[in-house]
Amino acid sequence: MQIHAIPAFQDNYLWVLAVDGAAAVVDPGDAAPVERFLEDRGLRLAAILATHHHADHIGGVPALARRWKCPVFGPAHDGVDGLSQRLVEGDRITVPGLGVAFDVLDVPGHTAGHIAYVRRDPDPVVFCGDTLFACGCGRLFEGTPAQMSSSLGKLARLAGATRVYCAHEYTLANIRFAEAVEPGNRALADRKARDTEKRARGVPTVPSSIAEELATNPFLRCSEPAVIAAAERRAGHALPGPVEVFATIREWKNTF
């Protein structure tokens, strides 16, 4: 399976999976760049996968589904119209035409019914939409800190080698915030150097990996002493646990 990034809008990535001339697209917020990519590569669209209902993730779904008459997979409880199969945690799908299997995780927080698609082997990947970002996480538009903390915990428990395909190029801004939380994190400094060089060359910083996120992403490090201390300084008082630490640094990030 080959995975290709299609840049869209200001900072979105639409992900195309390709196997032997067949393709699937994850979170196609805009149909036009997907159609151009398919034509340029001689690919036929066999399936559409959606993670949540925001327009920059599903805006192109109706046109693509009409044009290619392909099935649309998506979250059962997130208000996405026109689905061929409505998915919840525990479901397992095999993408038509590609023969690639994904397990579904419920990862609410950014939206109420957000899902992620996980391929566990032989080459583990996760398409996580706007739940987990490279060195960050999504805003809590519909969910609670406890929900998002739990969702991130599910993703954090995936194999360290799992490649993380999020939907936005937010990495350098997220790293700047992570530095404010954990200025002494050497792995974070190394990541900043690598990802800054990538962006200078116009190369995506995505995918990252679960192992890299565990080492550098403050939202996955809410039990680490340095992150707890930073959150408590921000809050001005002691915090009882990781969920409260997460809530504090998420609110901090909102105004950073």
| Residues marked as catalytic | 52, 54, 56-57, 110, 130, 168
- Contacts for 153 with CB less than 8 Å, ≥ 6 apart: none
Question: How far is the C-alpha of 164 from the C-alpha of 211, rounded, in Å?
Answer: 10
Is 28 within 8 Å of 64 (Cβ atoms)?
yes
Is 28 within 8 Å of 51 (Cβ atoms)?
no
Tokens representing residue 134 in the block: 């490279």
CA distances from 253 to 44, 121, 218, 246 (A): 41, 34, 11, 10
DSSP string computed for 48-106: EE-----HHHHTTHHHHHHHH---EEEETTS---S-SEEE-TT-EEEETTTTEEEEEEE
CA distances from 184 to 9, 59, 207 (A): 35, 41, 24
Is 34 within 8 Å of 146 (Cβ atoms)?
no
Q: Is the peptide bond before 122 cis (omega within 30 degrees of 0)?
A: yes
Tokens representing residue 253 in the block: 């990030």
